[in-house]
Structure 1
Amino acid sequence: MGRLELGVSSRGGRSVASHQFHEGALRVLRPHYLDDSGQVCYVVVNPGGAYLGADLFLIDVEVGDSASLLLTTQSATKVYRTPGSFAEQRMAVRLGEGARLELMPDQLIAYREASYRQRTRVTLRPTSTLVMAEVVTPGWSPDGAAFRYEEVRLRNEVWVEDGESAAQLLALDNLLIRPPLGDVTGLGFMEGCSHVGSLMVVDARVDQALADELHHLTSGFDALAGISLTRNVRGTGGLVLRALSNNTGELNRLLTACANVLRDRWFGQGPLNLRKH
């Protein structure tokens, strides 16, 4: 079990923590800055090392007006056997005017007989920027056979508000992975692949040209990828990229390459280089 709250605000051209709270098996390491942009980077850690049956983890993140946060994890999120009940993570994110969040965690590894649910709700402004990545990979046994996890459910909701009227739903992205009892990588299930990666981008500058460019970029990786555009709400839009592969590293490199295009073009930052200590 664990609970984490993190608030970030902009002060003197730098993003700094305005609120921190942790309880149970979640906390963040000290903040650091990867470049001179003022963006702050926080690393989420789970001292318990894994998610188990009936575990519930609550994460609340708020990025204030004009602030920028890069949030990652210290290591992969591991979900072990969950007899009796699934493990669950619920995350609430709020982004202010001109706020930016890059959520780039390490992969989620689901082991044999694991059942995991993750729900993320993001509320942002039309001037906010969201880049959110996720890679799901199966755990493996000592003899090399794939563990058969039971189920992984990932649900992402993105709502847009303008401060004057009720928030409107921009995107609802549901991913349900339920391996068959037979061959986990057989054709007809994830196109014969064992790993799946997702990237969600929300920004007023998202358009078909960007989607086409990122899709072309994915062709240089050993993965099957597709991109869908969301509708436009209050002048902002989004895209969801989904990629299938048999290699965690390949998916991480693909998603990072796409994120780097946006970092350079929109914010003048160099490639993502997560130095985890």
Structure 2
Amino acid sequence: MNTTTQVDFGSDVVGNVGPGSTLAMGERGRLELGISVRGGRSVASRQFHEGALRVLRPHYLDESGQVCYVMVNPGGAYLGSDLFVIDVEVEARADLLLTTQSATKVYRTPGSFAEQRMTVRLGEGSRLELMPDQLIAYREASYRQNSHISLHPTSSLVMAEVITPGWSPDGGAFRYEEVRLRNEIWIDDENGAKLLALDNLLIRPPLGDVTGMGFMEGFSHLASLVVVDPRVNQGLADELDHIARGFDAHTGVSLTGTIAGTAGIVLRSLSNSTEELNNLLGACAGVLRERWYGQAPLNLRKY
């Protein structure tokens, strides 16, 4: 399944990250995190950081054993030619909630784009909730985010993203140059890896009036929710679509095919409010948390 919004099917390649390696040329930060189960709780079995990336100490938000890690960029923002590399492995039956300390801010990137490359591997019966704060692209910013995700057919992924334009001195909207997000989602079984979804999102504001019909339908903010799980089906896609209709947003939901008994949902939503989109994504993720794991909705207060 290819899901597209203002799409460019480019040939960006996501490289693998070796454990304990040093920063390569052009890298500003590298983070490696491995999660396993010990004593009934998920814990870090591997942790490495270098440069402008790190994680805070782990938290346990309830009694489920799910561990929560918060990624931090002490530099505060992404600039031109910056490269951040993140490698996450959630081993069999482990459970990770990964979020960020604050919004990801991309400032002016003269000469070259800023980039984040993420590699994720989910083992048998494992779970990852990837719930970062919003991405803010400021005037003359160009940003690329490439994620390569490999799942076992029994693992579970919930991944959210909100993109919002940053403040501009002239008061204009969409003064950034480009935001490109590419997610490759693979299912690994005994017959090898198979591509479940290639999700490309390219927002490239045209010159002149960029707020009317034909470009994001006049909206300024965009949200995505990706869910991959053996329990995904058309009924769940319809339910999430129904939930989204209760918010001040324009939403579409797509369902992937099935590989080795698992399938995926991609929800895309447009609005003029970061808060509205965060609430929408939180409501959808909250339904899955309660139904599948008996957990309360997330309340990630970071102030």
TM-score by length of 1: 0.98
Q: More relative contact order in 1 or in 2 (CA 8 Å, sep 6+)?
A: 2
Give the structure 2 partner of residue 165 of structure 1.
191
1:273 & 1:7 partners in 2: Cα distance? 24
Q: Structure 1, unaligned stretches of length 5 or more?
A: none
* 1:112 corresponds to: 139
- Whether 1:29 and 2:59 are equivalent positions in the alignment is no
Out of 64, 67, 78, which is 2:91 matched to? Answer: 64
Q: Give me the whole-angstrom Cα distance separating, in 2, the residues matched to 1:63 and 1:158.
A: 15
CA displacement, residues 28-87 of structure 1 (integer Å, 9 cap, x when unaligned): 000001100000000000000000000000000000100000000000000000011000
1:206 aligns with 2:202: no
Structure 2 counterpart of 1:192: 218
SS for the counterpart of 2:258 is coil
Aligned partner (choices 56, 63, 78) of residue 105 of structure 2: 78
Q: What amino acid sits opposite 2:163 in the alignment?
A: V
Write the distance in 1 (CA, Å) between the matches of 2:86 and 2:225: 20
Q: Distance in 2 between matches of 1:263 and 1:46?
A: 28
For residue 181 of structure 1, the aligned residue among 196, 207, 223 is 207
How far apart are the structure 1 equivalents of 2:209 and 2:183? 28
Q: Deviations over 1:203-239 (max 9, x none)?
A: 0000000000010000110000010001100110000
SS at match of 2:259: coil
Query: Percent sequence identity over matched residues?
Result: 78
Within the candidate set 260, 263, 273, 2:286 is matched to 260
Letter in 1 for 2:259: V
- Report the equivalent of 1:242: 268
Q: CA deviation digits over 1:180-213, x for unaligned, max 9?
A: 1112321110000011000000000000000000
Contact 1:68–1:99 (CA under 8 A) maintained in structure 2? yes
User: What residue identity is the alignment partner of 1:270?
Assistant: A
Q: CA deviation at 1:147?
A: 4.8
User: Who is 1:152 aligned against?
Assistant: 179
- In structure 2, the gaps of 5 or more residues are 1-27
Instruction: Output the CA distance in 1 between the equivalents of 2:30 and 2:129.
Output: 20
CA–CA distance in 1 between the matches of 2:175 and 2:208? 9
Local SS of the residue matching 1:161: strand
Question: Aligned Cα RMSD in Å?
Answer: 0.9
**8 A contact 2:127–2:156 mirrored in 1:** yes
> For residues 78 and 53 of structure 1, what CA distance do their matches in structure 2 show?
12
How far apart are 1:140 and its partner, in Å? 1.2
Counterpart in 2 of 1:91? 118
Partner Cα separation in structure 2 for residue 184 and residue 140 of structure 1: 15
- Alpha-carbon distance in structure 2 between the residues aligned to 1:118 and 1:159: 17
Partners of 1:211 and 1:16 in 2: CA distance: 32
Pairwise CA distance, 1:142: 4.5
CA contact (8 A) 1:34 1:273 kept: no
1:253 aligned counterpart, secondary structure: helix
| Secondary structure of 2:192 counterpart | coil
4+ runs deviating over 6 angstroms: none
Aligned partners of 1:178 and 1:75: how far apart in 2?
24
Residue 165 of structure 1, CA deviation: 2.6
Shift of 1:146: 2.1
Which of 126, 129, 139 aligns to 1:102? It is: 129
TM-score by length of 2: 0.90
Name the SS of the counterpart of 2:287 in structure 1: helix
Matched with 1:219 is 245
Aligned partner of residue 31 in structure 2, secondary structure? strand
- Aligned residue identity for 1:125: H
Please report how far the alpha carbon of residue 12 of structure 1 lies from its aligned counterpart in structure 2 after TM superposition.
Answer: 1.4
